[in-house]
Structure 1
């Protein structure tokens, strides 16, 4: 059985609301019996009205909670959801002796993309990247927009090769994507592993951020070297 990711709308608010109203109605029924010595009809039609209202209000509460855990632009999970979920993910992997890959990624040159092509196009890039992330990683992985152009993925694993394969698939999908011929989109990805690198989310993200920055600097130096070589030939 895999880690449960909360993709569907919860019924928690509806269940609590209906149960509360049902208990209240039973209490009122008991009071009526005490005072009048007899019970009303087992299920009077008017009793259904507060139950329906309770279900309706509970549904709106469930929807509010669901949306509060989502990023408004991409529909991915947000920082609040990750902070709430991570302790439960740790409990899950500790019981099963698994690991967690914490992947931090951002879009290379995203500021220039916004400056050159506008913020609307920048938003489209983030939305499309979100779709590619969902396509490349599994349903049991937690994919979140951490803020700005930064994304966070939590992926539980027993074999690290599976995580590497997902990363490679994601990068290949980016290369194949049609970016309206405006710019070449690329990302930098840093990885940290629980529990070998750290045990707190803050420390793991710091490690992944550091690895991402090193890769980003390495890629910049490599590209600069290639440009210099092309100018010499």
Structure 2
């Protein structure tokens, strides 16, 4: 029985097509989950992740921190130096956040100059320390390039303060603006 090269060629061809299709799927998934400027996750992804993380927290009797972060003086950067510099700052902040958080935390750009971080198993007694260290990390990281930029940060904790994601975000946002007004 002669060896059939057609089988080998077709198998290699279809494996190549399958590999290419898989790569395309990965690219589309990445694009659909990420903010195009900062590379952090987007709103839709953080909302989906929260639902899954909340179920895990319920099973393990743990909490989940929802941290909101808003850049101070961001509008001035855009007005004085242009949107390109503002984009550079957002990219730098995203990098700082990703370097600061643990592998179980999720960082997302919420919109404009706001970011949200989900922190599994965050307890109220360590939340203030976490927030203060985060604010210092952002201020120190940007001291050379953007010396007048800091961050206002607020948090809410699931399920102690609220179980609904959007209400937790509102609570964290309200706490963030309380801190912003105190400065």
Pair in the same fold by TM > 0.5: yes
Could you say which residue in structure 2 is the equivalent of 1:175? Answer: 139
Could you say which residue in structure 2 is the equivalent of 1:129? Answer: 93
CA change 1:50–1:181 in 2 (3 A) is closer
8 Å Cα contact 1:144-1:152 kept in structure 2:
yes
SS at match of 1:198: coil
8 Å Cα contact 2:67-2:155 kept in structure 1:
yes
CA change 1:111–1:78 in 2 (3 A) is same
What are the equivalent positions in structure 2 for 1:220-231 lying under 5 Å apart?
none
List runs of 5+ in structure 2 lacking aligned partners: none
Could you say which residue in structure 2 is the equivalent of 1:207? Answer: 171
Q: More relative contact order in 1 or in 2 (CA 8 Å, sep 6+)?
A: 2
> Within 2, Cα distance between the matches of 1:113 and 1:136?
23
SS at match of 2:160: coil
Could you say which residue in structure 2 is the equivalent of 1:226? Answer: none
8 Å Cα contact 1:194-1:204 kept in structure 2:
yes
Q: Shift of residue 127 of structure 1?
A: 1.2
CA change 1:62–1:198 in 2 (3 A) is same
SS at match of 2:27: helix
8 Å Cα contact 2:135-2:153 kept in structure 1:
no
Could you say which residue in structure 1 is the equivalent of 2:75? Answer: 111
Query: Structure 2 length normalisation: TM-score?
Result: 0.88
